[in-house]
């Protein structure tokens, strides 16, 4: 058998052949693109910033200075008198910023623009200073023509010259980019060709070693998918990785087969348990006693009570059967226990009171059929009947953290600590059936059905005190029908 490192080494070589050259090319390309982009963005940014002052700079300053020179008294109402100074200052800051990192020629051009802006600012201050002086109108108009308008036109020409210079740099940069791209393309093609040939060579070697093993594994997987869990993969002659994969597959198939058999047995047990529970609900003694009560009520002429008893009995068995469904709504389960308690209250009216307090918002949720009724029956027969005097059964429900929580409480005889430990142990260890206590089967059955249908984290908790009563708490997930 080839050592495990053999397959690892082949894959690493393949990865190296594929990724190392591409990584080198990619890093080189990214560096080139970054540098070219920086250079290109710098030139474009310089042109854009300079072009801002080549469009309306002259017109804005000329117009503002004209209004100041002609009508100095109302100039502040007609125009922004601070605009010329603000434009000159902003332009000077921009062009000084452009000087940073510029070449010598560009710095000289920008220096001339800045000097012209300084001169323009001095001429603007002269006109503003003499604008309100009597007899200076003609002088200011002459200054406006000879100084302001000529200077702004000169500055605009200087800016255009700078923009033209940067545009030429952009053209040179474009040619350099084209040359670099062509060079990169040639190198990339060579590297890609060598990489592809190397990848094909090593990939074929690896594929030949893997194909046969994978083909066999695929065949046995298909057979297992069709339900044949006796198949086994034979990959002893393959690389160690594939041999381990085959062994793991064999173990998985064997375990799946065992789990399928366990599930089949559990389903059979669950169905048998549900059948026993259904038979327990159709208890002939319960039915006989109920029918006897109905006959007695009919002979006594209590027709309303007869109707109530027959309706309750009908509702009870309708929910018990529920058309073969395993799940019913909480509302149906509540109706079931209400019917049961109504019937039993006729027989035990001297010792039985009951209360059902389940919020209506819980009604649409689903619950496993016959979850609460066996608990209510236990409360009656093993709690209330063994106590002297009036007994009370209370069934309540609540929604807590995505769970349905039900409490079945009675103030009956209760259990001693020893008996409580025995019942809890029987529920946890699944020894309720055949324990000799009918209550054991009821609790055991409900616990097992909840765990089989909802999972081991759900079930029943029971608390009791001798002479005080018993409380059974049921927790199941809150799911809508």
Instruction: Please spell the DSSP secondary structure of 19-32, one letter per residue.
Output: HHHHHHHHHHHHHH
Q: Is the pLDDT of residue 27 over 70?
A: yes
Task: Judge whether 256 lies within some domain.
Answer: no
Task: Judge whether 266 lies within some domain.
Answer: no
More confident residue, 44 or 341: 341
Cross-strand bridge partners of residue 392 = 353
Q: Is the pLDDT of residue 371 over 60?
A: yes
Q: Is the pLDDT of residue 393 over 90?
A: yes
Q: Is the pLDDT of residue 441 over 50?
A: no
Q: What is the mean pLDDT of residues 263-289?
A: 58
Could you tell me if 190 and 290 lie in one domain? Answer: no
Could you tell me if 300 and 417 lie in one domain? Answer: yes
Could you tell me if 319 and 423 lie in one domain? Answer: yes
Q: Is the pLDDT of residue 139 over 80?
A: no
Task: Judge whether 236 lies within some domain.
Answer: no
Could you tell me if 313 and 417 lie in one domain? Answer: yes
Task: Judge whether 187 lies within some domain.
Answer: yes
**Confidence at 222, pLDDT banded by 50, 70, 90:** confident
Listed residues 166, 199, 232: the one ending a domain: 199
pLDDT in tens, 189-219: 887 787 788 777 767 777 776 777 777 777 7
Could you tell me if 287 and 194 lie in one domain? Answer: no
Q: Is the pLDDT of residue 355 over 80?
A: yes
Listed residues 182, 199, 216: the one ending a domain: 199
Q: Is the pLDDT of residue 369 over 70?
A: yes
Torsion on CA atoms 440, 446, 449, 451, rounded to nearest 10: -90
Question: How many helices and strands in the chain, by DSSP H and E?
Answer: 14, 7
Could you tell me if 186 and 298 lie in one domain? Answer: no
Could you tell me if 286 and 424 lie in one domain? Answer: yes
More confident residue, 355 or 369: 355
Could you give the CA distance from residue 367 to residue 405 in angstroms, rounded to a whole number?
11
Triad 119, 124, 130: Cα angle to 5°:
130
Could you tell me if 186 and 292 lie in one domain? Answer: no
436: domain CATH number is 3.30.565.10
What is the model's pLDDT at position 266?
A: 65
Triad 92, 94, 98: Cα angle to 5°:
115
Number of domains in the chain: 2
Characterize the bridge pairing of strands 391-400 and 352-357: parallel
Q: Which domain holds residue 454?
A: 282-477
39 near 173, Cβ under 8 Å?
Answer: yes
Spell out the residues 6+ positions from residue 372 whose beta carbon is closer than 8 angstroms to its own: 333, 334, 336, 337, 395, 406, 408, 474
**Confidence at 133, pLDDT banded by 50, 70, 90:** low
The CB density around residue 379, as the number of other CB atoms within 10 Å, is: 28
Task: Judge whether 359 lies within some domain.
Answer: yes
Listed residues 199, 227, 256: the one ending a domain: 199
Q: Is the pLDDT of residue 439 over 50?
A: no
Could you tell me if 167 and 300 lie in one domain? Answer: no
Task: Judge whether 209 lies within some domain.
Answer: no
Half-sphere exposure of 82 (CA within 13 A, CB side): 2
What is the model's pLDDT at position 251?
A: 78
Could you tell me if 303 and 448 lie in one domain? Answer: yes
Weakest-pLDDT range from 184-193, 373-382, 426-435: 426-435
The CB density around residue 77, as the number of other CB atoms within 10 Å, is: 9
Could you tell me if 317 and 431 lie in one domain? Answer: yes
Instruction: Give me the chain's average pLDDT, please.
Output: 78
Task: Judge whether 182 lies within some domain.
Answer: yes
**Confidence at 357, pLDDT banded by 50, 70, 90:** very high
Task: Judge whether 176 lies within some domain.
Answer: yes
Could you tell me if 190 and 327 lie in one domain? Answer: no
Weakest-pLDDT range from 40-44, 150-154, 404-408: 40-44
115 near 96, Cβ under 8 Å?
Answer: no
What is the model's pLDDT at position 308?
A: 74
Burial 325-346 (b: 16+ CB within 10 A, else e): eebbbbebbbbbbbbbbbbbbb
């Amino acid at each position: 058998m080839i050592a495990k490192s053999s397959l690892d080494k082949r894959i690493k070589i393949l990865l190296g052949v594929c990724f190392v050259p591409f990584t080198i090319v990619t890093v080189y390309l990214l560096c080139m693109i970054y540098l070219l982009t920086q250079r290109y963005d710098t030139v474009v940014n310089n042109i854009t910033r300079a072009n801002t002052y080549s469009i309306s700079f002259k017109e804005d300053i000329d117009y503002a200075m004209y209004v100041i020179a002609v009508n100095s008294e109302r100039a502040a109402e007609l125009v922004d008198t601070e605009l010329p100074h603000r434009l000159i200052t902003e332009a000077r800051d921009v062009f000084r910023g452009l000087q940073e990192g510029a070449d010598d020629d560009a710095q000289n051009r920008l220096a001339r623009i800045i000097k012209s802006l300084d001169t323009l600012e001095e001429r603007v201050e002269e006109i503003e200073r003499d604008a309100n002086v009597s007899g200076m109108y003609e002088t200011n108009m002459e200054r406006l023509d000879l100084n302001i308008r000529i200077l702004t036109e000169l500055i605009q020409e200087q800016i255009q010259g700078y923009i033209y210079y940067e545009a030429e740099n952009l053209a040179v940069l474009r040619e350099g980019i084209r040359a670099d791209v062509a060079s990169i393309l040639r190198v990339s093609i060579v590297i890609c060709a060598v990489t592809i040939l190397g990848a094909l060579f090593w990939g074929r070697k690896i594929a030949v070693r893997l194909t046969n093993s994978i083909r066999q594994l695929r065949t046995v997987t298909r057979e297992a998918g069709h339900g044949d869990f006796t198949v086994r993969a034979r990959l002893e002659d393959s690389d160690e990785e594939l041999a381990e994969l085959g062994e793991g597959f064999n173990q998985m198939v064997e375990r799946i087969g065992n789990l399928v058999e366990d599930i089949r047995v559990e389903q059979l047990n669950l169905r048998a348990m549900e059948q026993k529970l259904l038979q327990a609900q159709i208890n002939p003694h319960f039915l006989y006693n109920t029918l006897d009560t109905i006959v007695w009520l009919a002979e006594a002429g209590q027709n309303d009570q007869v109707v109530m008893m027959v309706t309750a009995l009908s509702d009870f068995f309708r929910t018990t059967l529920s058309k073969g469904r395993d799940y019913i709504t909480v509302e149906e389960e509540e109706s079931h226990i209400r019917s049961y308690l109504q019937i039993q209250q006729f027989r035990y009216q001297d010792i039985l009171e009951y209360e059902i307090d389940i919020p209506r918002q819980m009604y649409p949720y689903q619950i496993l059929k016959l979850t609460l009724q066996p608990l209510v029956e236990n409360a009656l027969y093993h709690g209330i009947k063994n106590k002297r005097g009036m007994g009370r059964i209370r069934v309540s429900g609540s929604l807590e953290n995505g769970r349905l929580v039900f409490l079945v409480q009675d103030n009956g005889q209760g259990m001693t600590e020893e008996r409580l430990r025995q019942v809890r142990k029987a529920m946890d260890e699944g020894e309720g059936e055949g324990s000799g206590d009918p209550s054991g089967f009821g609790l055991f059955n409900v616990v097992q059905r909840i765990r089989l249908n909802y999972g081991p984290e759900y079930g029943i908790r029971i608390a009791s005190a001798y002479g005080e009563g018993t409380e059974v708490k049921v927790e199941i997930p809150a799911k809508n029908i």
